[in-house]
Structure 1
Amino acid sequence: MPWAPAALVSLSLLTTSCASHDDTASAPKTTASASAPHGYVEGAQEKAEQQSRLLLNDPATGDTRVLDLITGKTHEVSRTTGTTGLTTDGRFGYFHTGSSTRVLDSGAWMVDHGDHVHYYRAAIRDVGRLPGDPGTQVRSDAAVTAVTDADGRAGVYRRAGLEKGKVGPARTLPGTHAGAVVPYAEHLLGVTDDGKVAVYDREGRRAASPDEECENLTGDAVTRRGVVLGCADGALLVREDDGTFTAEKIPYGSDVPEAERATAFRHRPGSDTLTAPAGERAVWVLDVSERTWTRVRTGSVVSANTAGEGSVLIVLETDGALHGYDIATGKQVSRTKPLLKGVSETGSDGNAGPVIEVDRSRAYLNDPKGKRVHEIDYNDNLRIARTFDLDIEPALMVETGR
């Protein structure tokens, strides 16, 4: 049976039959009608501001928490043991384990209509499990969720099913892929094993094949300018314009040793400025709008991120402090006191350890050994705005509601 069009799928309504983990998030059960206001979602409350939440997990014990950044309350949810990585699409948390991927609805999300944005909060609830292995990668848009296993086989799930609290059947894409399959512009982007970009429609049929190739694919990110793929010689930007897909290389500009290439991008959702470790003592900053790479020399890098648009580059270094760098000049402009103890270089995304999550006004740093999360005002010289004490070691963290 053919799927519903993406525009209809993205309007699917959130049911209210499940028990809530959040007594502030429940809304009276209401029946949708033709008179429902613009942006109405059954079972969710629409809010005037972003409803950010942090999903936190301790892989050693399986303890899992949801920290509501609006109320400051921490909610306990069922344990997930053996977690090897934690990712998110802005609403759902994907807890990757050795045998499957647990899906948790954080109950916080946003819908961007371009000229305006809707913010929602609802009940926190378990959705179920997606099949997978330690190498499984999950990518989503408003209509579908693509799950790519370690062998490069991809299955596509309807987003409407997850929004209703269940994992439905998957549509399998043909062939295998070198990295994650990424939903974009009502299509699906993948890189085949020979480095060629493949564009599929929602039914899994090949729709386009841009000429450029991506050798040794490592990392991807969706921006307003298109999908960025990390390649051996730099980045490949895949864009859609009026139904036509094109690919454009953004080269490093010189030969970069393999150990110093960008392999995992971090950025503020909605931003066109990406960051990635550039070896042990530098960070790459990719300005997608300007099609330029900047290599910022730093101390020993544990994690890095930036809000983009003129903001500082935030780097957690092995001294346990956050350092702010001016991206244009490379100069250090701010520094906190040591916040973490016993940290070491990582340079890999998704593994347990400190990470920096960034939204439109704050950054968040998890401190596993200290059992806490720091909230940072990056517009005020990396000022510590709040510190949240926890009853678990939050070795894995992602932010939702953005």
Structure 2
Amino acid sequence: MTPRKSLTTTALTCAVLAGSGLLAGCQNGSDAKSPSAASASASAQPHGYVEGAEEASEQQSRLVLADAGTGAVEVLDLITEDTTSLSRNDGVRSLRTDGRFAYLSSDGGTRVVDTGAWTVDHGDHVHYYRAAIRDVGAVAGAVSPRVHSDQAVTAVSSAKGGTQLLDRKKLEDGAVPRGTELTGTGSGVVVPYKERLLVTAAGAGKDSVEVRDRDGAGVATLKEPCAQARGEAVTRRGVVFGCADGALLVSEDKGTFQAEKIPYGTSVGASERAAEFHHRAGSTTLAARSGDDAVWVLDVTDRSWTRVRTGPVVAANTAGEGAPLIVLGKDGTLTAYDIATRKSIARKKLLAEGAESAAVEIDTSRAYVNDAAGRKVYEIDYSDHLRLARTFRLDFSPTHMVEAGR
């Protein structure tokens, strides 16, 4: 197997970045220092320095893989192709990531794994980091949670109801802190966004989205409702929530939050609505299953929906503007669709028929599909007619998979 990328590190200094105008992009009000203090700090440490981490010149993608049968958990480094085995986790029901941390849920709660790979996006430039992979601990009581984070807080919303807020810095330091229970959220989901918390299933009719501060105090209730909120995604243009009649896009401008409905534009039954969004990190194009035999594509920029009839579908994803929709069918065939024409443009048989637990993870150049029965993970070049770029053979069944480092 030939690695997709080679590992290189960057040694950008503050002096260089100051000349390019990028240094200011890494500073905010809470980090501001006096000119003399900033100069001293700049001369001591490179721009973007993170203690205990190595800065790289490209995204440091890693796959977290879990076997629901044996409890095996491994992290596969897509740069070096090395695997790291972690302690077993029996009865994994779900696996999620917030970009750096992976959350393995079982009946006893949710275990947190630091993948040691993450990206910091400052808008005008990006930093990529890699560090040691390690177990962090467990979040008690969180079952099959929805997890969302920003730089300060991680919100863990349990499928049984209730949300715990975790101090992000303490997670990064290697320990699961005591969570703060956010009251009045019920079965809603909490998404940290723009130094606030967005809370669904709020209000008297349970169809409002509330804006709260990080202590849980109410700031505002958005006027546009989102009935039967299910599914959410954070994009560059705002947070998308799936609603019974379409999607709600919540954005922020100078501290003021706005909500805009993106309707389906046609009658959509409950079983056909979008309820679980998938997308490339940073992209504004989202994919979601629609019933058993179709996929919705939501273009947040154009405020439009496209429904692609695919046949029986297991998983779907897309890299965004100009990229195809990638769909894994129940017959084990991976198909690429041109979103504009809704037509198939490439097909590849990958898995045995009847695969139900596979996922399609996607980044800027590759897609990844886990094959539990075959004990493999496939790397696909979706821009080259679904060319099989690499096959990673494992000694366990990768029932669950997420990609971190994004």
Hey, what does 2:328 align to over in structure 1?
316
Partners of 1:191 and 1:288 in 2: CA distance: 19
Partners of 2:164 and 2:251 in 1: CA distance: 23
Q: What do residues 339-369 of structure 1 show as CA deviations (whole Å, max 9, x unaligned)?
A: 101325x6xxxxxx10000001100000000
3-state secondary structure, aligned to 2:44: coil
For residues 82-161 of structure 1, the aligned pairs below 5 Å read 82-161=91-170
Partners of 2:51 and 2:256 in 1: CA distance: 35
3-state secondary structure, aligned to 1:192: strand
- Structure 1 window deviating more from structure 2 (142-151 vs 269-278): it is 142-151
Q: What do residues 68-106 of structure 1 show as CA deviations (whole Å, max 9, x unaligned)?
A: 000111111111111110000111000011121100000
**TM-superposed deviation, 1:179:** 2.8
3-state secondary structure, aligned to 1:319: coil
Hey, what does 2:354 align to over in structure 1?
343
1:241 aligns with 2:253: yes
Give the RMSD, CA atoms, in angstroms: 1.7
Amino acid of the structure 2 residue aligned with 1:168: P
Match of 1:362 among 351, 362, 366: 366
1:387 aligns with 2:387: no
Q: Is the 8 A contact 1:7 1:143 kept in 2?
A: no
Q: What do residues 298-327 of structure 1 show as CA deviations (whole Å, max 9, x unaligned)?
A: 121111000011100000012211101000
Q: Is the 8 A contact 2:116 2:133 kept in 1?
A: yes
Partners of 1:136 and 1:48 in 2: CA distance: 33
Q: What do residues 128-165 of structure 1 show as CA deviations (whole Å, max 9, x unaligned)?
A: 11122434322111211011223432221110000000
Amino acid of the structure 2 residue aligned with 1:125: R
For residues 157-176 of structure 1, the aligned pairs below 5 Å read 157-176=166-185
Partners of 1:164 and 1:45 in 2: CA distance: 15
1:225 aligns with 2:237: yes
Q: How high is the sequence identity, in percent, across the aligned residues?
A: 57
Q: Is the 8 A contact 1:100 1:133 kept in 2?
A: yes
Q: What stretches of structure 2 of length at least 5 have no aligned partner? A: 1-27, 32-40
1:77 aligns with 2:86: yes
For residues 56-75 of structure 1, the aligned pairs below 5 Å read 56-75=65-84
Q: Is the 8 A contact 1:45 1:121 kept in 2?
A: yes
Match of 2:213 among 179, 190, 201: 201
**TM-superposed deviation, 1:167:** 1.3
Hey, what does 1:18 align to over in structure 2?
none
Amino acid of the structure 2 residue aligned with 1:98: D
Match of 2:344 among 310, 332, 343: 332
3-state secondary structure, aligned to 1:259: helix
Q: Is the 8 A contact 1:139 1:180 kept in 2?
A: no
Match of 1:374 among 375, 378, 396: 378
Partners of 1:124 and 1:33 in 2: CA distance: 28
3-state secondary structure, aligned to 1:172: strand
3-state secondary structure, aligned to 2:384: coil
- Structure 1 window deviating more from structure 2 (270-279 vs 139-148): it is 139-148
Q: Is the 8 A contact 2:143 2:160 kept in 1?
A: no
Q: What do residues 8-54 of structure 1 show as CA deviations (whole Å, max 9, x unaligned)?
A: 59xxxxxxxxxxxxxxxxxxxxxx88621110001111011111000
Q: What stretches of structure 1 of length at least 5 have no aligned partner? A: 1-5, 10-31, 347-352
Q: Is the 8 A contact 1:101 1:132 kept in 2?
A: yes
Amino acid of the structure 2 residue aligned with 1:176: T
TM-score by length of 1: 0.89
Hey, what does 1:27 align to over in structure 2?
none
Amino acid of the structure 2 residue aligned with 1:74: T
Hey, what does 2:36 align to over in structure 1?
none
Partners of 1:168 and 1:369 in 2: CA distance: 37
Partners of 1:178 and 1:310 in 2: CA distance: 36
3-state secondary structure, aligned to 2:390: strand
For residues 248-287 of structure 1, the aligned pairs below 5 Å read 248-287=260-299
Q: Is the 8 A contact 2:93 2:144 kept in 1?
A: no
Partners of 2:158 and 2:289 in 1: CA distance: 25
Partners of 2:29 and 2:101 in 1: CA distance: 20
Hey, what does 1:21 align to over in structure 2?
none
Partners of 2:347 and 2:43 in 1: CA distance: 54
**TM-superposed deviation, 1:170:** 2.3
Aligned residues: 368
Q: Is the 8 A contact 1:91 1:401 kept in 2?
A: yes
